[in-house]
Structure 1
Amino acid sequence: MNQTEGFPLNTQVTYRCRDGFVKIPRKSDTVECLSNSEWSNINEFCGRSCGAPTRLKFASLSKEDETKNYHPVRITVRYICRPGYENITEMLLVSTCLENLTWSEAPEFCRRKSCGPPGELLHGRAVRITELL
């Protein structure tokens, strides 16, 4: 048996990202000692990422964006007005991961829906108990 220093064939070694970096989804972080006594190739699998996108009272993340856990610089996430709220702009409701790894401010682009005044009754009157929202 040929004895060499290092790792036996078929050994797998898994790397970890340094502090301040996170693993990029679907990129391999493992190498294997191959039969030719060389390691398999590995590409960069760590990147900088913003944390979870800002939670908003008036809007929620799109279904597509709520499942993501890696947010590189310059990526945008899209929001959708929550039930009971309506979009008050024609713009896309987005926030962007900035160079300093924070999210851009999401302006209040949704407002509560309003029913307006309920109208008059012939032999009665409206008594307002709550806001007309």
Structure 2
Amino acid sequence: MFFWFMCYLVDMWLISASDGNCPKLPPVDNSIFIAKEWEGQILGTYLCTNGYHMVGEKTLFCNSSKGWNASVPECRLGHCADPLLVNGEFSSLEPVNVNDTITFKCNEHYILKGSSWSQCLENHTWVPPFPICKSRDCGPPENPTHGYFKGTGFNSGSNITYYCEARYRLVGTQHQQCIDGEWSSALPVCELFRKAPKPAELELEKALLAFQKREEICNAIAKFTQRLKKSGLTMEKVKYSLEKKKADLKARMLLGHCS
């Protein structure tokens, strides 16, 4: 109590040292208040004593032209903050003490996302964090770029079908269903069809390919002829040498067959 009183005196001194536009903050039961001046503003922090938890803003600041930014908080009985579950209920409404465990349950047409229980720890926190109750119905689905869907109603069990605009094809799952608040598959995409080449374009491509192969053959022949000239040979000598090797090979094959 003495410590709280001293902190409150410091608070009053800081406020009186300002321009006087900040109203006096009332004391909060079961709390300690600490105030200080920071960058031309008055900052006040409430700390709940052991066995109580805070409801509201912990730190308030006073602007000389606007006053305090929020209303005074409360320190309520209980070691951890009161449990909260929108569209659901929990097992206990009594003040929470350390090591207390509560369980959660969602209302009809809602599904629990997260842990079904939580425990109050010594550091005034709940672990695991509170879950949420999510509607079993799905929100309106998105439209893919250059695409759209068909289907009415987005409640649980509803079906939709995706389509693409002309010249686009669907990549992904076309038929989807709303299951426990989520659509059964990821959003598909619409890809642009690659334009098919015309017959004339195909013939031109074939002609260019053939010309390229012909050019490669001609280059190979030209290089071979240049090597013959450098070595002093002629096409006739090469032809004669090849014919002679061919005859020798036939003779060896005949001899090997007869033996």
Report TM bin, short chain: 0.3 to 0.5
Decide which structure has greater helix share: 2
Higher relative contact order (CA 8 A, sep 6+): 1
Decide which structure has greater strand share: 2
In our comparison, the structure showing a higher alpha carbon Rg is 2
TM-score, with structure 2 as normaliser: 0.23
